Amino acid sequence: MLLDRDGVINSLVYHDDAGVIDSPFAASQFKLLPRVPQAIRLLNDLGLGVAVVSNQPGIAKGRFKPEVLKACERKMLSQIGAEGGRIDCIHYCLHHPEAKVSKLRQRCHCRKPEVGLLEKAAAELQVSLGECYMIGDGIPDLLAGSRAGCRTIFIGRWKCEICQFTDPGVRPAFVAKDLWEAAHFIRSEVTGSAGVTSSPKCLSAEA
Ligand SMILES: [Mg+2]
Ligand SMILES: [Zn+2]
């Protein structure tokens, strides 16, 4: 399973000074969303590998230092681990086409909606991309997932307006309120059990 980080595992942060909603810029701002460790444990218990695939252009943009990303990572792993959940691998894209930090300024193959991160993670999990679900709260996550041949799950509220602007191929297999709901949907699919109500009408009608 391929999980986006911000908005899926941890909450987005409103940065007063910059007036933006973005990733945590300090480890103290890193907060897990509800039921995330339990959701990850559920995926572990199904025998599914769990990878994080995350665009993190904050270093490139000069928003924070590499140490902050590491500290957030330690916090994420220890808080998830404390509840018995396990993340098998983590892959970041640190690049940005307009980065201030010159060595990170590039058009790479890893920044979602490109598929490089997903390919690396699937290789490390030793699964094919066709067996993976890409779970994210942004259109780039869905685009990367569908380009890579994954099933996709959107976390958040799917607005019908989004449908009008997105390629039918990009529409997710399922819309979940949070990772816990997504994990239950995956369980229902991999075990063939029923009981999970499906996505909003605008999605299912076109499925
Ligand atoms: Mg996100
Ligand atoms: Zn990259």
Which of 125, 166, 181 lies closest to 2, judged by CA? 125
CA distance 194 to 186: 11
Going from the Cα of 187 to the center of ligand 2, the distance in angstroms, rounded, reads 31
pLDDT at 170: 81
Which residues does residue 15 pair with via DSSP β-bridges, in sequence order?
20
Going from the Cα of 21 to the center of ligand 1, the distance in angstroms, rounded, reads 11
Is the pTM higher than 0.85?
yes
Going from the Cα of 76 to the center of ligand 2, the distance in angstroms, rounded, reads 22
Q: Are strands 20-22 and 13-15 parallel, antiparallel or unpaired?
A: antiparallel
Going from the Cα of 172 to the center of ligand 2, the distance in angstroms, rounded, reads 24
pLDDT at 157: 83
pLDDT at 206: 42
Ligand nearest to the CA of 22: 1
pLDDT at 5: 98
CA distance 151 to 172: 7
Positions marked catalytic: 4, 6
pLDDT at 171: 86
pLDDT at 92: 98
pLDDT at 134: 98
Residue type at 15? H
Q: Around ion ligand 2, which residues have CB less than 5 A away?
A: 93, 95, 108, 110-111
Going from the Cα of 107 to the center of ligand 2, the distance in angstroms, rounded, reads 7
Which of 72, 66, 124 lies closest to 94, judged by CA? 66
Ligand nearest to the CA of 120: 2
Q: Which residues of 180-192 are buried (b: 16+ CB within 10 A; e: fewer)?
A: bbbbbbbbeeeee
Digitized pLDDT (tens) for each residue of the chain, 207 residues in all: 999 999 999 999 999 988 899 999 999 999 999 999 999 999 999 999 999 999 999 999 999 999 999 999 999 999 999 999 999 999 999 999 999 999 999 999 999 999 999 999 999 999 999 999 999 999 999 999 999 999 999 999 877 666 666 677 688 999 999 999 999 999 999 998 765 555 554 554 443
Going from the Cα of 143 to the center of ligand 1, the distance in angstroms, rounded, reads 13
CA distance 135 to 4: 6
Ligand nearest to the CA of 53: 1
Ligand nearest to the CA of 52: 1
